[in-house]
Amino acid sequence: MTQGMLTLYYTPHTCALASHIALEQAGAKYQAVRIDFSKNEQRSPEYLRINPKGRVPALLTDRGVLTETPAMLLFICQSFPSVNLAPLDDPFALAEVQAFNSYLCSTVHVAHSHRMRGYRWADDAGAIAAMQRKVPQSVGECFDLIERELLRGPWVMGPAYTICDMYLFTLAQWLEADGVDPGRFPKVSDHRRRTSEDPVVRKVIADELAAF
Amino acid sequence: MTQGMLTLYYTPHTCALASHIALEQAGAKYQAVRIDFSKNEQRSPEYLRINPKGRVPALLTDRGVLTETPAMLLFICQSFPSVNLAPLDDPFALAEVQAFNSYLCSTVHVAHSHRMRGYRWADDAGAIAAMQRKVPQSVGECFDLIERELLRGPWVMGPAYTICDMYLFTLAQWLEADGVDPGRFPKVSDHRRRTSEDPVVRKVIADELAAF
């Protein structure tokens, strides 16, 4: 399927990295536009017209804007099917991919968000501090499950590199800052090392930091 | 695509309702097995072998177990394509469906969960109470966005009834208990009323409550 120019709105060190890697891996024609959280650009009137949620990532296409990482990743797979980033024609296998990515967005990322974004769920400073204290445990339990049950090896879904790998790699970058020792998760750590050596991944990270 | 017998593990009044409605609407051959939270069955060794996450829903298929509502809903659509519960062959439109459902699971359901499941993110009783106090605001803001930006009408994606409608209906059932006045959201309330009158939806809810 041909696509016009795509525009990815991203901020370094956010989950937008997963979609950025997928676009590059797919060979998509895209530009990446940085949204500067330090200037609160995600809340600017211009950006809220693109994404009323006031978050990154967002993907501008010739048919409109997409948000939410699991949806954007699926869109990239389906738009560039020859790149084989997900088992599109196998309903069970595709659902396994979507289940893994849904777990990352609704449970792993959410656990992590209680460190810096506790104000979303409580107003009280003491409550926000209590949430921060639990992040090492809650994020650690998520990665225990990934290590023990979900990551098949060598890639998340087994022999094939998929959109799950880009997304897991992205969230695993946050372990140290969340106060979780990555050494507890040998399979996740090995996965992260191998993914970080991928030339596409290296290019995308370099591009994000250079623009920053 | 033909499917063997499917087994849905559910608990009444949970997000499992969305997948239950989808299975019934698709005409799937399935049985529904109730997991009793009051007996902590979701943490029993038997159930943890089915779903190590210790949550509902889970869907047992002849190829293994699926979890996570957005993934299960996509699986049901792709397994019963003639029922047309999602625009499977249109990458952009399907991504819009998945983006809406991803927002429900990662933001709306998560906001709601801070009322009864605050222990996931803090240990302190005061913090858990502070989270509960903010639920009317955080859930209310989610439904403001749905009302203003996301629900096109008459159905979520416009003229076609999709898996987004089953999932939105399910989460909208929780508004009153979350301390949010549904009257603030005329489009959501109208959507909820029309969905509740669907014979398939009525049958599934009656089945869940009868088994209960």
- pLDDT category of residue A212 using cuts at 50, 70 and 90: low
pLDDT band at A4 (very low <50, low <70, confident <90, very high): confident
The predicted model gives B32-38 an average pLDDT of 95
| Site of tokens 């849904």 | A102
Q: How confident is the model over A36-63, as a mean pLDDT?
A: 96
> Mean pLDDT over residues A146-164, rounded?
98
Closest residue in B to A109 (Cα–Cα): B106
Least CB-CB distance to A127: which of B1, B126, B138?
B126
Give me the residue label for tokens 């950025």.
A20
- Main-chain dihedrals φ then ψ at residue B57, nearest 5 degrees: -85, 165
For range A174-185, the mean pLDDT? 98
**DSSP three-state, residue A23:** helix
**Per-residue pLDDT at B161 exceeds 90:** yes
ipTM of the prediction: 0.97
* CA–CA distance, A155 with B4 (Å, rounded to integer): 29
- Which helix or strand (DSSP H or E) is residue A114 part of? helix A109-116
Q: Would the pLDDT of B1 be above 70?
A: no
For residues A73-99, average pLDDT? 97
Residue of A1 and A109 predicted with greater confidence: A109
Instruction: Determine, for residues B74 and A95 on separate chains, whether the beta-carbon distance falls below 8 Å.
Output: yes
- A68, A72, A130 ranked by CB distance to B103: nearest: A68
**Average pLDDT of the segment spanning A34-50:** 95
Could you read off the pLDDT of B112-135 as tens digits, one per residue? 999 999 999 999 999 999 999 999
With cut-offs at 50, 70 and 90, classify the pLDDT of residue A211: confident
Structure tokens at A79: 């738009």
Does residue A1 carry a pLDDT above 60? no
Look at residue B3 in the predicted model and tell me its pLDDT. Answer: 63
Q: Which residue of B has its CA nearest to A53?
A: B145
Q: Would the CB atoms of A127 and B124 count as touching at under 8 Å?
A: yes
Mean pLDDT of A150-168: 98
What pLDDT does B4 receive? 81
Identify the band that residue B211 occupies on the pLDDT scale cut at 50, 70 and 90: confident
CA distance A65 to B153: 19
* Spatial CA neighbour of B75 closest among B63, B90, B105: B63
Summarize chain A as % helix, strand, coil (round to 5): 60, 10, 30
Q: What would the pLDDT profile of A95-150 be if each residue is shown by its tens digit?
A: 999 999 999 999 999 999 999 999 999 999 999 999 999 999 999 999 999 999 99
Let me know: does B95 contact A72? Beta carbons within 8 Å.
yes
The fraction of chain A above a pLDDT of 70, given in percent, is 98
Average pLDDT over residues A164-174: 98
b (16+ CB within 10 A) / e for A61-98: beeebbbbbbbbbbbbbbbbeeeebbbbeebbbbbbbb
Q: Output the CA torsion A173→A106→A187→A166 (10° steps).
A: -60
Which of A102, A150, A157 to probe by mutation at the B interface, max B CB count within 10 Å?
A: A102
Confidence of residue B19 (pLDDT cuts 50, 70, 90): very high
- Specify the pLDDT at position A3: 63
Residues in chain A closer than 8 A to B123 (CB atoms) = 130, 133-134
Candidates B53, B106, B142, B164, partner chain A, best to mutate (most A CBs within 10 A): B106
Q: What is the pLDDT of residues B54-70, one digit of tens each?
A: 999 999 999 999 999 99
Tell me the torsion sign for CA atoms B32, B37, B39, B40: positive
Mean pLDDT of A8-30: 98
B2-16, B59-73, B166-180: least confidently modelled range: B2-16
